[in-house]
Amino acid sequence: MRKYFLLVLATGLFLSVSAVVWAAGQLEKDMAAFDKVYIPALALTSQTNKAAAEKAVKLTADQWMQFKKNNAAFFGKNAADQADLAVIDQLITDAERSVRVNEKTDEAHEILEGVRNTLLKIRQRNSIDYYIDYTTKFHEPMEAIVLTAKGRTAETLTDTMLLKIRDNFKVAQQDWKNLQNASFDPALFSFDAKKDAQRQAYIRAETEAMDRLKNALENGDKGSIIKASMGIKANFVNLFLLFGDFGKFK
């Protein structure tokens, strides 16, 4: 009887663990599926093709509804998760309305930025390690550096601005190291060998750009700092866009 009880208990534990593993794997797949349409929406709302932007935002809204339906049981346990899901609901609704009524789509782009930041909060709260979150963390200090240096010259870059670049670089440098060291599953994002080689090439190029900024900051020449600051965005953007499915918009 005792052996039978232990066997039943062990079987139950195995099934429970298996269910958790399966659920986590499915959740990651659903997150990746959402990002495949969300990233094009984020990119296209920063451009001038309103029709493509409107289509991308609509697809994002549809995929978001599917994501919530698939994972209602997982996120239904935590009031904070529910509140953040509602925030994303509103952000996507606002982006849909904005891209419909405005001639320019940049407002929708700014609204959609909030989606990935809110998803980052949810995943951090639930201890979910998700590759694209590393890009989200790096984006904020990187963007702050670029915007501080943009349009400046050695004469107009103030000491306060220089200090802001230095402070943000410290954060960006650590965030970039974390991304470099993050585990990556090519299959999750449907990356073949060629596409993963592109990912790695963009990471190498961005690392070189970050090193150039590090050296410029150490040397202290404002002109070089401005140039290097402006050079840390392009390769990162190209890396981020790899995770979107732009096939529907060609």
The count of C-alpha atoms lying within 13 angstroms of the C-alpha of 138, restricted to the half-sphere facing its C-beta, is: 25
Structure tokens, 237: 């953007």
Alpha-carbon span 209 to 215, nearest angstrom: 10
Q: Where in the chain is the domain with CATH 1.20.120?
A: 1-128, 131-250
- For the stretch 70-87, pLDDT in tens is 999 988 889 999 999 999
What is the C-alpha to C-alpha distance for residues 41 and 86, in angstroms, rounded to an integer?
19
- Confidence band of 22 (pLDDT split at 50, 70, 90): very low
**Average pLDDT of the residues in 119-123:** 97
- Is the confidence at residue 16, as pLDDT, over 90? no
Cα separation values, 219 from 175, 223, 228, Å: 23, 11, 12
Beta carbons of 154 and 225 less than 8 angstroms apart? no
Mean pLDDT of the chain: 91
3-state SS class at 231: coil
Kindly indicate the confidence band of residue 104, based on its pLDDT and cuts at 50, 70 and 90.
Answer: confident
**pLDDT value at 2 more than 60:** no
Cα separation, 249 vs 145, whole angstroms:
31
For residues 55 and 248, the answer to whether their CB atoms sit within 8 Å is: yes
The pTM is what? 0.88
The CATH architecture that domain 131-250 belongs to is: Up-down Bundle (1.20)
Domain at 1-128: CATH code:
1.20.120
pLDDT 10s digits, 167-215: 999 999 999 999 999 999 999 999 999 999 999 999 999 999 999 999 9
- Asked whether 145 and 169 are in contact (CB, 8 A), the reply is yes
Q: Is the pLDDT of residue 18 over 70?
A: no
Structure confidence at residue 1 (pLDDT): 53
CA distances (Å), origin 146, targets 63, 166, 202, 226: 32, 12, 18, 8
